[in-house]
């Protein structure tokens, strides 16, 4: 018991410096949205289940790292037909690929509150390089990152078979996020 | 009950034929066409339910007798046409359902945007859906063209009874219209 407590104390001390750069995502103040165009009509949706692991020290942005894990079956647009189709094999194929992952290291300052982080995005098991621009506002113990990017859905195989053309659903899809984290 | 079902189904068939022709042959903006397809599926399944109810009713109730003055040949023609109509009432929604199931687009059916409706088994998981899709499209559309003819024959016969033979055949299809003396 004693040795266990001592180990815990040691572990806590050892973890100290790393913890300083660690941030905890605040789900209630975060959102991950997407947008698309179906038969010429725009729609928007949200991933209701996702999480982020963030390591960021303002003094050393080059050492920052982010891992965002998205439950692909949690995509909701409010249209039950579309929401039923999205997890199916033609789209996210959530049964085979339950998660999409964005992983990056290093925040490159772009002036002001602007940054870019270079990493990879994996959807449907297809991994592509992605440079993600975002803004970052840190005040006290809270940091808010916001960004948006346009993805070519077919680069990740989202939209198989007859959906791999833009006839019914546009090939470009927008992704936007607000990620709030506290230290 | 039988009368109400008759007119509900008749209206359903008319609307479905008009919609089907428009979907297949008019150049409609793609978002409208998509919505039209969804509505066509919703009404089709609704008609299928009405037809199932009607077939049950028909099997448990004796239909009113044909006019006594009707010649044998006309009785046979009427019976044949009615049989064909029942065949099409079932075949149209069923082939439509099959067509949706083999569609390479794999679009889930949600009746009236509210009620999820399953695809038919086997058909929805075929490895080559394009070939099955072409076959089902051919069957569904040609059945529809023939149905237009049978439907018109049935309507024309009803009008002939009403305006030419001047009997009660059409009148008794309107709930409480008084009989002719």
Contact A98, A18 (CB under 8 A): no
Q: For residue range B119-178, what is the model confidence (pLDDT) as tens digits? A: 999 888 888 899 999 999 999 999 999 999 999 999 999 999 999 988 888 888 887 777
Among chain B residues, the shortest Cα distance to A164 is held by B105
Among chain B residues, the shortest Cα distance to A39 is held by B31
Between residues B176 and A175, the one the model is more confident about:
A175
| Chain B nearest CA to A69, separation (Å) | 27
Distance of CA A93 to CAs A66, A87, A97, Å?
A: 25, 5, 6
Residue from A83, A88, A162, A166 whose CB has the most chain B CBs within 10 Å, to mutate: A162
Whether A135 has a pLDDT exceeding 60, the answer reads yes
Whether B4 has a pLDDT exceeding 70, the answer reads yes
First to last CA, chain B: 25
pTM: 0.80
- Please return the burial class of B15, using the count of CB atoms within 10 Å of its CB with bins 0-12, 13-18 and 19+: middle
Find where tokens 């960004």 sit: A147
Give the residue extent of every domain in chain A. 19-182
Number of neighbours of residue B119 by Cβ within 10 angstroms: 18
- DSSP-derived 3-state class of residue A31: strand
Q: With CB atoms and an 8 Å threshold, state whether B106 touches A90.
A: yes
Give the residue extent of every domain in chain B. 2-62+76-173
Q: For residue range A89-124, what is the model confidence (pLDDT) as tens digits? A: 999 999 999 999 999 999 999 999 999 999 999 999
Give the pLDDT score at A49.
Answer: 97
Q: With CB atoms and an 8 Å threshold, state whether A81 touches B29.
A: no
CB contacts < 8 A (A, B): 41
Q: With CB atoms and an 8 Å threshold, state whether A40 touches B29.
A: yes
Q: What CATH number has the domain spanning A19-182?
A: 2.40.128.110
Mean pLDDT of A161-182: 95
Of B105, B108, B113, the CB nearest to A162: B105
């Amino acid at each position: 018991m004693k040795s266990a407590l001592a180990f815990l104390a040691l572990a806590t001390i050892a973890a100290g410096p790393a913890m300083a750069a660690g941030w905890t995502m605040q789900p209630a103040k975060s959102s991950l949205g997407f947008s698309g165009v179906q038969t010429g009509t725009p729609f928007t949706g949200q991933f209701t289940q996702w999480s982020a692991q963030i390591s960021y020290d303002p003094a050393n942005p080059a050492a920052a790292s982010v891992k965002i894990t998205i439950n692909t079956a949690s995509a909701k647009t409010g249209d039950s037909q579309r929401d039923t189709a999205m997890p199916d094999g033609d789209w996210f194929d959530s049964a085979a690929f339950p998660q999409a992952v964005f992983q990056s290291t290093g925040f490159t300052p772009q002036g002001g509150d602007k940054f870019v982080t270079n990493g990879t995005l994996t959807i449907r098991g297809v991994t592509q390089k992605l440079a993600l621009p975002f803004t970052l506002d840190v005040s006290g113990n809270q940091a808010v990152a916001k960004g948006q990017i346009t993805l070519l859905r077919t680069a990740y195989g989202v939209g198989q078979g007859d959906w791999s053309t833009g006839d019914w659903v546009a090939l470009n899809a927008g992704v936007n996020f607000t990620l709030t984290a506290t230290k | 009950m039988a009368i109400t079902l008759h007119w509900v189904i008749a209206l359903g068939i008319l609307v479905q034929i008009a919609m089907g022709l428009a979907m297949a042959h008019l150049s409609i903006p793609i978002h409208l066409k998509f919505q039209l397809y969804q509505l066509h599926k919703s009404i089709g399944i609704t008609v299928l339910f009405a037809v199932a109810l009607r077939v049950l009713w028909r099997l448990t109730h004796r239909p009113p007798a044909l006019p006594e003055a009707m010649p044998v040949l006309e009785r046979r023609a009427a019976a044949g046409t009615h049989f064909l109509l029942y065949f099409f009432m079932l075949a149209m929604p069923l082939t439509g359902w099959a067509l949706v199931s083999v569609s390479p687009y794999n679009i889930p059916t949600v009746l009236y945007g509210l009620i999820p409706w399953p695809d038919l088994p086997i058909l929805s998981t075929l490895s080559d859906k394009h070939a099955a899709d072409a076959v089902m499209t051919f069957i569904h559309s040609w059945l529809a063209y023939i149905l237009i003819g049978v439907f018109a024959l049935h309507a024309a016969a009803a009008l002939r009874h009403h305006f030419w033979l001047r009997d009660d055949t059409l009148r008794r299809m309107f709930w409480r219209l008084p009989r002719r003396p």
